[in-house]
């Protein structure tokens, strides 16, 4: 046999063996793909991505996330029978209602965020949201309510900060009581419950030992950890259509929430009426197409996105500072993009041509 023919064969064998070791190592410790699942919850498509889990762990974790999201959704549903609709009905009669610790804590957190937003995030305006037809499983259709009707409702000044939350010790247990003296106060956590639900779902994942994951509910998400050796990469929807306006890589643990005028709306006589209402006017907030907030927890990001949408292109910076959010992108109705410096450093714009970007710090 010619020496020249044996050498390459040995090399080839060695190369194959090395490849097998590398491939084996990758398969066990470093999968190349995230475990992914999607399902309908919170009235939207939810996608869960998990890194470093096998099929069984992944399936169990996704079931836990789904159960948690459904639990929060059913508790806080604004128009179907729920803990919240029962609460609203009883509070309106002046009754003092006993609730559990979690219910009281969620409402106290909503109050805190509402106060910080100067009442622009106002979960006390459920009656107004209903008046505009957004409390419905069907697509809202209009027409808009009469100005006198919205004015009469606003005259009651329903504000969540008026809700009295007290606690007492009964038979060695702490119980929480809620009371309202304003019959027009109807709580609607539509601007915040998704964030709260996503926070709880991520807590469940952590309890299962999962540190690398995304829980994405219709484009609003919390990401923890990484996608293996690289960060998670996500897209922010273009408010004009289905595409992505910008992409970003998440860092550690953070939430990215967007409020947009395209989520729920109806058109009436050529005018679009969307579901984010300005509690000062009783009408859909004007001047903004979408607001994206990046913040550690999802509940704050959700409430802040709603509040900054209402604040609008002129006033969003002051509200951002009061609410303690540093990473904001607001797209105004002229498609101008307003960003904080911290947000500007994160975004990689995808649409061509790149739209006009105005960078300014929170006031
Ligand atoms: P999205 O539907 O995109 O998640 P938001 O988080 O902004 O949007 O939530 C909008 C929902 O919040 C509305 O459907 C309504 O239930 C409620 N809402 C409307 N206006 C306000 C407001 N000013 N403050 C708090 N909640 C609001
Ligand atoms: Mg919101």
- d(C-alpha 271, C-alpha 16), whole Å: 66
Gap from CA of 237 to ligand 2 centroid (Å): 15
> Is the pLDDT confidence value at 58 over 60?
yes
Q: What percent of the chain has pLDDT over 70?
A: 91
Gap from CA of 192 to ligand 2 centroid (Å): 5
Q: Which atom of ligand 1 is nearest to the CA of 279?
A: 23
> Is the pLDDT confidence value at 16 over 50?
no
pLDDT grade for 29, boundaries at 50, 70 and 90? low
Gap from CA of 193 to ligand 1 centroid (Å): 10
Q: By alpha-carbon position, which residue is closest to atom 6 of ligand 1?
A: 191
> Is the pLDDT confidence value at 293 over 70?
yes
Gap from CA of 211 to ligand 2 centroid (Å): 25
Q: What are phi and psi of 102, to 5 degrees?
A: -65, -45
Q: List the domains of the chain with CATH numbers.
A: 6-77+202-359 (3.10.520.10), 83-179 (1.10.3980.10)
**pLDDT tens digit sequence for 98-114:** 999 999 999 999 999 99
For the Cβ of 302 lying below 6 angstroms from any atom of ligand 1, the answer is: yes
For the Cβ of 303 lying below 6 angstroms from any atom of ligand 1, the answer is: no
Cβ(231)–Cβ(250) below 8 Å: yes
The closest ligand to the CA of 159 turns out to be 1
> Is the pLDDT confidence value at 329 over 90?
yes
**pLDDT tens digit sequence for 148-157:** 999 999 999 9
For the Cβ of 51 lying below 6 angstroms from any atom of ligand 1, the answer is: no
Gap from CA of 246 to ligand 1 centroid (Å): 23
For the Cβ of 260 lying below 6 angstroms from any atom of ligand 1, the answer is: yes
Least-confidence region, from 51-65, 179-193, 239-253, 298-312? 239-253
**pLDDT tens digit sequence for 229-273:** 999 999 999 998 879 999 999 999 999 999 999 889 999 999 999
Q: Which atom of ligand 1 is nearest to the CA of 120?
A: 23
Contacts 24+ apart (CB under 8 A), 206-209: 208/57, 208/60, 208/61, 208/64
Q: Is the pTM of this model over 0.85?
A: yes
Q: Which of 190, 262, 280 to mutate to test the pocket of ligand 1 (most atoms within 8 A of CB)?
A: 190
> Is the pLDDT confidence value at 18 over 60?
no
220-224 vs 357-359, strand pairing mode? unpaired
Q: Which one has a higher pLDDT value, 351 or 343?
A: 343
b/e map 312-323, b = 16+ CB within 10 Å = bbeebbebbebb
For the Cβ of 212 lying below 6 angstroms from any atom of ligand 1, the answer is: no
Q: What are phi and psi of 280, to 5 degrees?
A: -80, -35
For the Cβ of 122 lying below 6 angstroms from any atom of ligand 1, the answer is: yes
24, with CB counted inside 10 A (0-12, 13-18, 19+), is: exposed
Gap from CA of 308 to ligand 2 centroid (Å): 9
End-to-end CA distance of the chain: 82
Q: How far, in Å, are 35, 87, 97, 104 from residue 164 at the CA level?
A: 44, 13, 10, 10
């Amino acid at each position: 046999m010619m020496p020249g023919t044996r050498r390459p064969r040995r090399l080839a064998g060695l190369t194959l063996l090395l490849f097998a070791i590398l491939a084996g190592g990758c398969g066990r410790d470093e999968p190349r793909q995230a475990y992914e699942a999607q399902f309908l919850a919170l009235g939207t498509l939810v996608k869960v991505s998990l890194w470093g889990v096998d099929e069984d762990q992944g399936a169990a974790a996704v079931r836990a996330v789904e159960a948690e999201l459904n639990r929060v959704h059913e508790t806080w549903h604004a128009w179907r029978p729920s803990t919240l609709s029962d609460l609203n009905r009883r509070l309106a009669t002046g009754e003092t209602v006993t609730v559990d610790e979690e219910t009281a804590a969620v409402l106290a957190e909503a109050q805190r965020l509402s106060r910080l937003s100067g009442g622009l995030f106002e979960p006390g305006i459920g009656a107004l949201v209903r008046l505009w037809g957004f409390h419905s499983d069907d697509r809202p259709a209009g027409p808009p309510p009469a100005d006198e009707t919205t004015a009469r409702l606003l005259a009651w000044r329903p504000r969540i900060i008026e809700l009295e939350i007290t606690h007492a010790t009964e038979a060695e247990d702490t119980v929480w009581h809620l009371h309202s003296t304003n019959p027009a106060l109807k709580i609607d956590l539509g601007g915040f419950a998704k964030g709260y639900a996503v926070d709880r779902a991520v807590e469940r994942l952590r309890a299962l030992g999962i540190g690398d994951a995304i829980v994405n509910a219709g484009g609003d998400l919390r990401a923890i950890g990484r996608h293996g050796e690289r960060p998670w990469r996500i897209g922010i929807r273009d408010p004009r259509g289905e595409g992505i306006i910008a992409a970003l890589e998440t860092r550690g643990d953070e939430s990215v929430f967007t409020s947009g005028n395209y989520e729920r709306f109806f058109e009436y006589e050529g005018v679009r009426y969307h579901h984010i209402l300005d509690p000062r006017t009783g009408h859909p907030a004007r001047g903004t197409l979408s607001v994206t907030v990046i913040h550690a927890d999802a509940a704050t990001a959700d409430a802040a996105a709603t509040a900054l949408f209402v604040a609008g292109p002129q006033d969003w910076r002051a509200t951002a500072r009061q609410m303690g959010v540093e990473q904001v992108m607001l797209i105004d109705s002229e498609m101008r993009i307003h960003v904080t410096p911290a947000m500007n450093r994160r975004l990689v714009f995808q649409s061509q041509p790149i739209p006009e970007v105005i960078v300014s710090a929170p006031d």
